[in-house]
Amino acid sequence: VPEQLNEWMERLSEMEFDDSTLALITKNVLTETTAFFENWIRSDLLRQINIWISGLTEGVISVVNELMNIVIGIIVSVYVLFSKETFAGQSRKVVYAVLKPEKANLVLHITRKSNEIFGGFIIGKIIDSAIIGVLCFIGLSILDMPYTLLVSVIVGVTNVIPFFGPYIGAIPSAILILLTDPIKGLYFLVFIIGPKILGDSSGLAGFWGVFSILLGGGLFGFAGMIMGVPTFAVIYYLFQMFINQNLEKKHLPTDSAVYDDTSYVDAESGEFIHGSNDEQNIGEAQVRGKEDCEKEEEK
């Protein structure tokens, strides 16, 4: 490029300009512009290109390292799965040897439940994401959208993230299509943002699912967004099991729906009284509660 600029300057110098003011201004502007452009190429542009090349080299090395890790992980996984029954038996033997039978059974129960939650969630999300990616590719091909394969891969991969995954993949894909054809970009938004991605495989309510994603993503980034839901589902299950066991010891119901505003537990007998809209029962419950408070104050 600098060589081409020099040739242009030589040609401009050979051109005959008259002595008018406009000709002198034009010649000065061309000279200054060419000098500025040469300095920009030699300083800013070349330096930026070096930075880009360095970043690209580091990126290629990182990709190669990740591919090597994936290959090694697949090889190790084959050996682990081939001997999984042996490892499971050895682990159970160690648990029973170290802990008492009651605690050992509890640990194994929690382990089985965690495996059920994580396995169901991960396998379900992988299958779901693969189906979403294939359906997206078929739909975009029928609609004759640009960048069909690229957009389908983006949508399928980001779909692994619960709740927010469809939006994370749809927004950059929609922008990419909008730059090519605005009308098709709007069609894509209508087509892609629709299905409810996360089902009931984790056993969490909608609020706790969003909470676990935000907490996991804030603490551990992308991996936390993916693994936050099954991890919190295990914690939620353990807490629920602890609460239900204590309620059963007190001979109280474990269903949350029966604990309405008018239900109460008798302070003397410890019996759970199902509430109703009868004002007399509500008044009796309030009187009993007031009497219990007075007795506690006297004590």
Query: What DSSP letter does each residue of 261-298 carry, written as one string?
Result: TT-EE-TTT--EE---S-HHHHHHHHHHHHHHHHHHHH
Residue % of the chain over a pLDDT of 90: 4
pTM value?
Answer: 0.48
Residue % of the chain over a pLDDT of 70: 77
Helices of type H across the chain: 2-14, 21-40, 46-82, 84-98, 101-142, 148-158, 165-180, 182-192, 206-249, 279-298
Compute the distance between CA of residue 231 and CA of residue 196 in angstroms, rounded to an integer.
Answer: 21
Highest mean pLDDT among 19-23, 49-53, 137-141: 137-141
Q: Is the pLDDT of residue 31 over 50?
A: yes
- In terms of Cα–Cα distance, which of 213, 218, 212, 215 is closest to 232? 212
Average pLDDT of the chain to the nearest whole number? 77
Query: What DSSP character marks residue 83?
Result: T
Classify the C-alpha dihedral 137-140-144-145 as positive or negative.
Answer: negative
Compute the distance between CA of residue 288 and CA of residue 283 in angstroms, rounded to an integer.
Answer: 9
According to the model, what pLDDT value does residue 20 have? 61
According to the model, what pLDDT value does residue 242 have? 86
Q: Is the pLDDT of residue 281 over 60?
A: no
According to the model, what pLDDT value does residue 204 have? 60
Q: Is the pLDDT of residue 1 over 90?
A: no
